Amino acid sequence: MDSNLDKRVVLVTGANRGIGLEVCRQMGKLGYQVILTSRDEEKGGTACQALAAQGMAVNFCPLNVSSEDSIQAARDFVLKNYGQLDVLINNAAVFLDHESSILNISMDILKKTMETNTYGALRICQVFLPMMEEKKYGRIVNVSSQLGQHARMHPNWSAYRLSKLALNGITQMLAEAIRTPNVLVNCCQPGHVRTEMGGSTAPLSVEEGADTIVWLATLPKNGPNGKFFSKRRRLDW
Ligand code: NAP
């Protein structure tokens, strides 16, 4: 386990509810300084207060992952208040597909999905990686989905599948590109989890869904890099 974790700072996107909020709770419990972000200030502020009331070191920062201005403002917030970022969890995502297939998916839905799930996550990595490289420590977890696996390229839910397929590719490319030791980038699928996205009948709790994300966020120095995980085990691309 990481001996510096009482000083470590983690930022989680899309953390006002669902798996993101649970990741904040678990990281806070481990002693990390948590930056809970949300595009909605009211919802994010309420979620943050609830964790702070449980004794966690948590701060709220507004962050809309589809907005360059918002990403830059979050970077300024992190530098001003912490001077570093050690762990980044790209969790925010939308699932806008309904009954559409690759044959009729609207370009508007595809663009909106990619902007949030893929471009937003990549842009946030680009903006925060220099802080990690400077400190020679970093853990990035891109929260993907099994629907983004090559073997699962079925024609339905095509915008969401493509967004996560590309996020997996970004994870591999970043891991290849980063030359600083001890900066690790991985992606995982949380499983089918009971959240607004996963629905109330999904088999897994948010605690179970957050488990592999938190495990990847706290990897030791020689941990895996540029890989895809489910239940703490390697998944094929
Ligand atoms: P969720 O309950 O729908 O939460 C999604 C979060 O993303 C919300 O906080 C939402 O904020 C936020 N968000 C959406 N667009 C955003 C933007 N532009 N900027 C900032 N935040 C934004 O979903 P979840 O189930 O917790 O999913 C978390 C992650 O797990 C996602 O990456 C998802 O793809 C992945 N995943 C989930 C499941 C599952 O079964 N639940 C399965 C596989 C993968 P608002 O409240 O403002 O909308």
Per-residue model confidence (pLDDT) at position 1: 44
Per-residue model confidence (pLDDT) at position 81: 97
- Report CA(91)–ligand 1 centroid distance (Å): 6
Per-residue pLDDT of 157-185, as tens digits, reads: 999 999 999 999 999 999 999 999 999 99
- Report CA(14)–ligand 1 centroid distance (Å): 6
pLDDT of 48 strictly over 50 = yes
pLDDT of 4 strictly over 70 = no
In this structure, the strands spanning 9-12 and 87-90 are parallel
pLDDT of 98 strictly over 80 = yes
pLDDT of 137 strictly over 60 = yes
CA neighbor of 64 nearest in space, from 123, 24, 106 = 123
Higher pLDDT: 197 or 99? It is 197
Q: Which atom of ligand 1 is nearest to the CA of 192?
A: 40
| Nearest-CA residue for atom 12 of ligand 1 | 14
Q: Which atom of ligand 1 is nearest to the CA of 194?
A: 41
CA neighbor of 213 nearest in space, from 187, 192, 184 = 187
Domain range enclosing 205:
5-234
Per-residue model confidence (pLDDT) at position 3: 47
So which residues are the catalytic ones? 160
Per-residue pLDDT of 103-112, as tens digits, reads: 999 999 999 9
Per-residue model confidence (pLDDT) at position 6: 52
Query: Which residues' Cβ are closer than 6 Å to ligand 1?
Result: 13-14, 16-20, 38-40, 43, 63-66, 91-94, 116, 143, 145, 189-190, 192-193, 195-198, 202
pLDDT of 187 strictly over 50 = yes
Rounded distance, CA 182 to CA 74, Å? 24
Q: Which CATH number does the domain housing residue 177 bear?
A: 3.40.50.720
Tell me the backbone φ, ψ of residue 32, rounded to 5 degrees: -75, 155
- C-beta of residue 22 within 8 angstroms of C-beta of residue 210: yes
Tell me the backbone φ, ψ of residue 83, rounded to 5 degrees: 75, 5
- Report CA(120)–ligand 1 centroid distance (Å): 13
Q: Say how many domains are in the chain.
A: 1
pLDDT of 208 strictly over 70 = yes
3-state secondary structure 145-157: CHHHCHHHCCCEC
Per-residue model confidence (pLDDT) at position 7: 82
- C-beta of residue 118 within 8 angstroms of C-beta of residue 166: yes
pLDDT of 122 strictly over 60 = yes
Q: Which atom of ligand 1 is nearest to the CA of 91?
A: 32
pLDDT of 71 strictly over 90 = yes
Give percent of the chain above pLDDT 90: 95
- Report CA(198)–ligand 1 centroid distance (Å): 9
Q: Which of 16, 19, 36 to mutate to test the pocket of ligand 1 (most atoms within 8 A of CB)?
A: 19
Give percent of the chain above pLDDT 70: 97
Biggest CA-to-CA distance, the chain? 52
Q: Which atom of ligand 1 is nearest to the CA of 196?
A: 2
Tell me the backbone φ, ψ of residue 51, rounded to 5 degrees: -70, -40
What's the alpha-carbon Rg for the chain, to the nearest Å? 17
What is the average per-residue pLDDT within 75-81? 98
Per-residue model confidence (pLDDT) at position 99: 77
